[in-house]
Amino acid sequence: MIVVGALRAGTTMLRLMLDHHPEICIFAEFEELTRCLDRPGYPSVDEYEAWLSTDRHALLKGLEVERGGGFVGVVRGFVRQAYERYGMGKPIFGFTVHANPHRLPELFPAARFIHIVRDPRDVARSCIGMGWVGTVHHGADYWIRAERGWDRVVREVPPERRIDVRYEALVRSPAEVLGEITAFLGVEYHPAMLEYGRDTTYEAPDPRLVEQWRTKLSPREIELVEARCGALMEARGYVRARPHRPPTPVERLRLAAENRRWRTKFNVERLGLPLYLSWITSQRLPLERWRASVQLRVNEIENAHVR
């Protein structure tokens, strides 16, 4: 079973809820399964292993690359190893993936999918706080990529193997929505699913987190997100609050400059100026060993900020 959705859409909260069910284990985020699959086809095992050598998620897991079955064999081997190590014998096992969800059906053709969607205006705003973007205009891209990817999953996976969950409904009525999810998975709802706050750093669902964009975004910021997400947002059931006013060419230039400025400021503050400059430069030069060593130093800092 695979949980998919945009970053900052509530995937972690949902994963923790499911993982606290006595019959369900949701292992972790498994981004390394699909993050390198932006293009059609698969990398060779050697190429994938080289890529994994600096991937933060893969290094934390420490799973073994099992050769012999190509790329597909490696990623399926990762999932099997994860279940053997962490599944605790539970009958339902799964993980979360944000990157390239449309590639998952071909890798795991029998998998069931839980798709969580959140209002793009809240997702875009939340991405700024993570340092990934500097404007909601750019933050909306995270939502768009995830939802377009899900549309491709829907075309390949039959309805009986997928379910849609709205973040807002999950937060407002968690027991009811979790009951629908567990019924989809073939097990009964268990109250322990709402007790994840006892042994994690995450708090219980808070309805105040719903529709924060109404008070935390300016009217123009709302318009920018709605202009980017457009019909896709409405197809997900989210109603526009402002007139359609896409950015002008001059405004696009200003937004791009603000995005670069904010991302640079965030990364310099987190990494320090020397490491930040090394990180940026190493990605532009064909010096693989240096690039790898710099990335590993960046990984250490990023790991320290994970909740």
Q: Which domain holds residue 172?
A: 2-247
Q: What 8-state DSSP symbol labels residue 27?
A: E
pLDDT for the residue numbered 161: 98
Please check whether residue 73 is in contact with residue 66, taking contact to mean a CB–CB distance below 8 angstroms.
Answer: yes
Residue 108 lies inside a defined structural domain of this protein: yes
| pLDDT-derived band at 186, boundaries 50, 70, 90 | very high
Which pTM does this prediction carry? Answer: 0.94
9 lies in some domain? yes
Between 209 and 80, whose confidence is greater? 80
What's the Rg (C-alpha) of the chain? 20
Mean per-residue pLDDT of the chain: 96
Q: How long is the chain?
A: 307
In a domain, 290, yes or no: no
Q: For the segment 91-103, what is each residue's pLDDT rounded down to a tens digit?
A: 999 999 999 999 9
When pLDDT is averaged across residues 82-91 and rounded to a whole number, the result is 94
**Cα–Cα distance for residue pair 27/15, rounded to 1 Å:** 8
Which strand ranges, in their side-by-side order, compose the sheet holding 92-97? 24-29, 92-97, 2-5, 113-117, 162-166
Chain segment 253-307, per-residue pLDDT in tens: 999 999 999 999 999 999 999 999 999 999 999 999 999 999 999 999 999 988 7
Domain count, the chain: 1
* 13, part of any domain: yes
Residue 94 phi, psi (nearest 5): -160, -175
CATH code of the domain in which 27 resides: 3.40.50.300
- Calpha distance 162→183 (Å, rounded): 12
Query: Is the residue at 269 inside a domain?
Result: no
pLDDT tens, residue by residue, 146-180: 999 999 999 999 999 999 999 999 999 999 999 99
Task: Answer yes or no: is 138 within a domain.
Answer: yes
Domain-located, residue 298: no
The reported pLDDT for the residue numbered 292 is 96
The 10 Å Cβ neighbour count of residue 19 is 19
What is the predicted pLDDT for the residue at 199? 85
